[in-house]
Structure 1
Amino acid sequence: MQGLKRAGLCLGLLLAGLAAAQGSPSPLNVTLTQDLIRSVTQNGKLVEERVAAPSAVLPGAVLLEEVTVQNVSAKALSGVKISVPVPKGARYSGAVTPSGDQWETQFSALCGGKALEFAKAPLSCTELVNGKNVTRDIKPNEYTQVRWLISSVAPGEKLKLSFRVVVN
């Protein structure tokens, strides 16, 4: 199977309140990498090995989607939103860079064919089933996007945010 490919611009970036929205050069340098994570035995212990940018992956492979965000401006930035879609042909595995004091992690999914608003996990959905509204929990493997709400990024600061997916 070929490596997962992303159509068009794979990284959906929302830069709230930044000069980028006004046509100025972006104060953020944002990159996305996709690496294979595999388990190997070293010195009798099972450890994870990271293979950078694999050219091909098989069903069941675990991939790390890692976003690096760096403030390249001279000012602190606040209210930064970074959104990344779960790649087509893969499902979110439930492993994400945990929220901390500096950012909150949110997710989106489809409910009745429509995208839900971003929210903290766990997500739930109300759908019409046999004429009745039924609320159900959305499983993490149904999440379609991951978003980080970053309270502030200092000048020169670099953040690494990531989540894992499993290839279908």
Structure 2
Amino acid sequence: MTSVSRVLVAVLWLSGLALAQGPSAPAPVIKNGVSFVMAQDLVKVSVQNGVRVEEFIQSPRAVQSGDILREEVTVRNVKGKAIAGVTVGIPIPRETVFSGGVTPDSGRWTVAYSVDGGRTYSPEPMRGVTVTENGKAVTRQQAAPPESYTSVRWTVTELRKDETLRLGFRVRVK
């Protein structure tokens, strides 16, 4: 295993939902021996023979309010040896709201969320809420609702030689 190295990727999307670039495969970004490929798929749900079935439409050309999108990054170790401490951060695209479906903690990585544009992360972000008690304004910390999340971050303990991981979450179009 290599000495602890930190790899951070913030896969930045263009503003708005001009995110889809057509059906061509996105080019990987390679940083510190790790290849990152971001994908966005439209999630279509149907019922077939009484069973809920999901279909994924890659890089949709257009989306509508209420549509669910899967944001996913494929992370691959191309360094030729194990890499410790890989951090993968993905901002939640503008004009969408976090709706869950995050690749959960696995024992090999942890998941944290940001409500301040990626400046700070926590497994359960808090936010201040001001209430009036005995005629005085008091600010208390409470769990931020998932709809207020602005970024998702995974911290992978070790990315093994030639290993590929798929990390993602879902958003709803506003």
TM over 0.5: yes
Pick from 107, 120, 123: which aligns with 1:120?
Answer: 123
Q: State, as a whole percentage, how many aligned pairs show the same letter.
A: 34
Question: In 2, are the aligned partners of 1:67 and 1:161 still within 8 Å (CA)?
Answer: yes
Residue 171 of structure 2 aligns to a residue whose secondary structure is: strand
Pick from 69, 74, 77: which aligns with 1:71?
Answer: 77
1:96-115 paired onto structure 2 within 5 Å: 96-110=102-116
- For 2:112 and 2:66, how far apart are their aligned partners in 1? 25
C-alpha root-mean-square deviation of aligned residues, in Å?
Answer: 2.3
TM-score normalised per structure 2: 0.76
Question: In 1, are the aligned partners of 2:113 and 2:152 still within 8 Å (CA)?
Answer: yes
The aligned length equals 146
Aligned counterpart, 1:9 = none
Q: Does 1:92 align with 2:98?
A: yes
Q: Which runs of 4+ in 1 moved over 6 A?
A: none
Question: In 1, are the aligned partners of 2:118 and 2:151 still within 8 Å (CA)?
Answer: no
Alignment deviations for residues 85-141 of structure 1 (CA, whole Å, 9 cap, x no partner)? 00000000022001111100000003xxx86620112x2112556743222321011
Residue 101 of structure 2 aligns to a residue whose secondary structure is: strand
Could you tell me which runs of 5 or more consecutive residues in structure 1 were left unpaired when the two chains were aligned.
Answer: 7-12, 21-25
Amino acid at match of 1:126: G
Alignment deviations for residues 34-55 of structure 1 (CA, whole Å, 9 cap, x no partner)? 0000112323432111111100
Pick from 15, 18, 25: which aligns with 1:5?
Answer: 18
